[in-house]
Amino acid sequence: MRFINYRNIRIHQIQIFLCAADCANYTATAEQMNVTQPMVSKTIQLLEQELGIILFRKDRGKLYLTPAGRELKFHWNNMMEMFEISVFNAHAIQEAKNMPIRFGLGMSSRRDDLRQLISHLEKQRPEIDLLLECDNMANMLQRISRGDLDLGVCSGHLLPRIQSLRLNFKILMETPLAIFIPKSNPLSQKERIAFSDLRQESFVTFSQASDPLYWELLNSLADEAGFIPKVACYVKDELSFQINLEMGRGIVMADSGTPLEGAEVEKFILEGTHCDLLLVWRGDNNNPSLAKLMKAL
């Protein structure tokens, strides 16, 4: 890779690139950014020259991001978001205001319990804004560790990962595991399910790479029941469980509070198991509002 002088790249250039990526047209970008169309074209040209990267290809007047351009757009969007948040937080500190709390919620977190928790916090600390975000749990822990999020709620099966990242945690609720089964599956007609009943079933599961602790838990329970779990498909996030269950592609093991049951899916509690719901934060978080909020718990 050739030398790149990053000092030559300006925030306004990045903003124009991101806008062009969304608008897919130089004219629309110029209108939105309140600049001329030639300026947009020239900015993209200079940015490509400085980086040594082709950002767009054109076809019949429309812009299409190149694979390299898509990579930059993803990371630069996050960078600009963090830049804006940091300026907002700096103003809050300077003006002695309460900084907002960026609160990450796992996609499979218990919705009713979370509503109660958030309602309680807002009543106790109405002066603190809670900015709620939904993310897969493994990614959420990384964001808390980096300082992108102040708080997060996740499943207890991730406790070893929480400890390895040296994050603080508090048990919000003790909950058992459950098996979610499509109603098209004859097993859904049973009154109770033991893990040994699942030896012929195929699981919709996280891969060992995306969530090794979930994979380890699944295999541990299967090993105790005397079988190796069959895999129907691997998914990257909790939301993908729902569609695969509804399509009858397999069964899912998850926290019993995960909102997966419905018209097409039956839930069975796994007796003798537990998967606590955890509140997670970084001990050295410098957001002064976090200490105030934690006192409300």
Instruction: Report the CATH number that the domain containing residue 201 is assigned in CATH.
Output: 3.40.190.10
**pLDDT value, residue 52:** 92
**pLDDT value, residue 100:** 87
More confident residue, 43 or 110: 43
Q: Choose one of 89, 118, 139: the last residue of a domain.
A: 89
**pLDDT value, residue 86:** 82
Highest mean pLDDT among 29-38, 91-100, 132-141: 29-38
Average pLDDT over the chain reads 89
Highest mean pLDDT among 119-123, 204-208, 228-232, 272-276: 228-232
Give whole-number Cα distances, 241 to 5, 165, 177, 235, 236, in Å. 45, 26, 15, 7, 9
Looking at the structure, tell me whether residues 287 and 140 fall in a common domain.
yes
15: pLDDT strictly greater than 70: yes
**pLDDT value, residue 110:** 64
Give the residue numbers spanning the domain of 134: 101-165+277-294
Residue 172 maps to a domain: no
Looking at the structure, tell me whether residues 253 and 289 fall in a common domain.
no
Closest CA to 280 of 98, 73, 142: 142
Residue 283 maps to a domain: yes
* Tally of domains in the chain: 3
Q: What's the one-letter identity of residue 59?
A: D
Looking at the structure, tell me whether residues 281 and 264 fall in a common domain.
no
More confident residue, 189 or 288: 189
Residue 47 maps to a domain: yes
Q: Choose one of 89, 122, 137: the last residue of a domain.
A: 89
Looking at the structure, tell me whether residues 31 and 68 fall in a common domain.
yes
